Structure 1
Amino acid sequence: MNMKTVKIAGQTVPAIGIGTWHMGDDPAQRAAEIAAIQAGITAGARVIDTAEMYGSGRAESLVGEALQSLDRDQLFLISKVLPENASKRRMEASLDASLQRLRTDHVDLYLYHWRGSVPLAETVAELQRLQRTGKIRSWGVSNFDIADLQELWALPGGDQAVANEDLYHLGSRGLDYAVLPWQADHNLPLIAYSPVAQGDSWGQHLATNATVKRIAVAHDVTVYQVLLAWAIRNPQTLAIPQTSSVAHMTQNIAAGELTLTPTELAALDQQFPRPTKKEALDII
């Protein structure tokens, strides 16, 4: 079996990476969380997604510690800047603090975490400038809806964004109506956060759905591996599930080798239909 890949910022990476939201908060979990991140890389993941917001920097510090024994050149590291720091005056200092916590001299992708009061043109201009310094290799956006993406593309340099990170899973398919078709037309990959819906109201519903369970049995995999395989069925999608368990992390990465059949995808579409009209962007 072959692991699915996605091309972001000119690099081809496995389509399942490692999310770190909620990690780094509990000192008692630190060793287990570091072991899980390292297990994910050993299993074949290359992408680690974090943000200055996660635990007010604690997730970045955790990632920095976890990656010390690994080859930085083989990793694709993503972090994000908060809206209040996404200005010409504050962004570089915010980035420098992230780099210090991450124990690296650059991030491979720096995302504008969500929109705030700073004019989008100013944020884009500063992201472009920081890319020229080498501290970030590429930049993108997060929690952008279709109107945000269209506005971004109309700005000078806006079409240099290399990814948009949004909430996306089988139980939250609003992106399928307009955002994903637009991104496909503009060759802009999606980074899907919370791709198995853990921690939101859909989670238990998805994991106990009879169709999902039947497909899992047919492939001898877990229901969460089915959900991940569904999320990356599009070759322009990178999923970043989070887990503090070595066993679950290994299963997550292995889901990149699972291909659902057209019949199975149709059955999931019937259970969880794609939207027929524009929906509000889901954010958690």
Structure 2
Amino acid sequence: MKQVTINGQQVPAIGIGTWHMGDRPAQRETEIAAIQAGIAAGARVIDTAEMYGSGRAEDLVGEALAPIDRQQLYLISKVLPENASRQRMAASLEASLKRLRTDYLDLYLYHWRGSVPLAETVDELQRLQQSGKIRAWGVSNFDIDDLKELWQLPNGAQAVANEDLYHLGSRGVEYAVLPWQREHQLPFIAYSPIAQGDSWGHHLATNDVVKQLAAQHHVTVYQILLAWVIRQGDVLAIPQTSSVAHMNENIAAGELTLTPAELALLDQQFPAPTSKQPLDIL
């Protein structure tokens, strides 16, 4: 399975996203089973946030992971902009840890930029890291100018990841963000890597070339889309599913390698950007 290194730790390049999970009590057992299946299939990274269901996703994750050895897991959560201040972040983190039933996070991300000065947020993230309650911190929904601003701060280069939207139908980050992150050895986390199951009109799963490649590899179209996202070795994808079967397929996509010719076919269908694009955000 392909691996990505974050903060010195190697983790499988397909993790588990949890946006929209925990919202429907009738699906709770199914969602818990899906998360546990993902870990059993080899995933280590679970990505969540205090925003997701106003804490309900973290609570679900905490229940799902309770029987699993914490040392096997790489747990990511995120702080909301309105909580990213010196006054509020520590309490926000404590609430997340309580819901997740753990005493530390492997990675704590600033979910997106708000009105709190970036320097204040970074200093508080750094302080929380020194406290041991987070092993590392990073950012999310940062564009190239945000990253450059971050790197100018005294502790800004202590960030260990940036998480942005990225999939075959949304390649804008390839123009500036991904090259900059590679130059600065900052790993990239791709959220919505299969375009939310095509619900946003990208038509990836119904594209003839994607379907043809899936048939040739005897895999699903979503496995092709995931293999494409993690093709270069420094991108971690965090697809979300509440289905055990789909979860197993997602994790198995970490074993799939597309050939240069196959990648070229996909480039023809979904061209790489030739100029700076606005950052896609969901």
1:65 to 22, 47, 63: 63
Q: Which residue of 2 aligns with 1:31?
A: 29
Task: Decide whether the 8 Å contact of 2:169 with 2:202 is kept in 1.
Answer: no
Supply the distance in 1 between the matched residues of 2:250 and 2:267 (Cα, whole angstroms).
22
Of all paired residues, the percent bearing the same amino acid is 79
Q: Which residue of 2 aligns with 1:250?
A: 248
Q: Which residue of 2 aligns with 1:42?
A: 40
Post-superposition shift, 1:81? 0.1
AA of the residue aligned to 1:127: L
3-state SS of 2:236 partner: strand
> Does 2:13 match 1:15?
yes
> Does 2:151 match 1:153?
yes
Post-superposition shift, 1:76? 0.1
AA of the residue aligned to 1:84: E
Supply the distance in 1 between the matched residues of 2:196 and 2:211 (Cα, whole angstroms).
16
Q: Which residue of 1 aligns with 2:267?
A: 269
Supply the distance in 2 between the matched residues of 1:174 and 1:274 (Cα, whole angstroms).
8
Post-superposition shift, 1:204? 5.9
**Which whole-Å deviations, capped at 9, do the CAs of 1:60-113 have from their partners, x for residues lacking one?**
000000001100011000000000000000000000000000000000000000
Post-superposition shift, 1:234? 1.6
Post-superposition shift, 1:200? 5.4
Unaligned runs of 5+ in 1: none
Q: Which residue of 1 aligns with 2:53?
A: 55
Post-superposition shift, 1:202? 4.5
Q: Which residue of 1 aligns with 2:75?
A: 77
**Which whole-Å deviations, capped at 9, do the CAs of 1:160-183 have from their partners, x for residues lacking one?**
100000000000000000000000
Post-superposition shift, 1:198? 1.4
3-state SS of 2:189 partner: strand
CA root-mean-square deviation: 0.8
AA of the residue aligned to 1:73: Q
AA of the residue aligned to 1:60: E
When normalised by structure 2's length, the TM-score is: 0.99
Q: Which residue of 2 aligns with 1:138?
A: 136
When normalised by structure 1's length, the TM-score is: 0.98
> Does 2:168 match 1:173?
no
Q: Which residue of 2 aligns with 1:214?
A: 212
3-state SS of 2:169 partner: coil
Supply the distance in 1 between the matched residues of 2:203 and 2:63 (Cα, whole angstroms).
36
3-state SS of 1:172 partner: coil
Post-superposition shift, 1:17? 0.1
AA of the residue aligned to 2:238: I
Post-superposition shift, 1:134? 0.4
Task: Decide whether the 8 Å contact of 2:48 with 2:78 is kept in 1.
Answer: yes
List structure 1 runs of 4+ shifted beyond 4 angstroms: 199-204
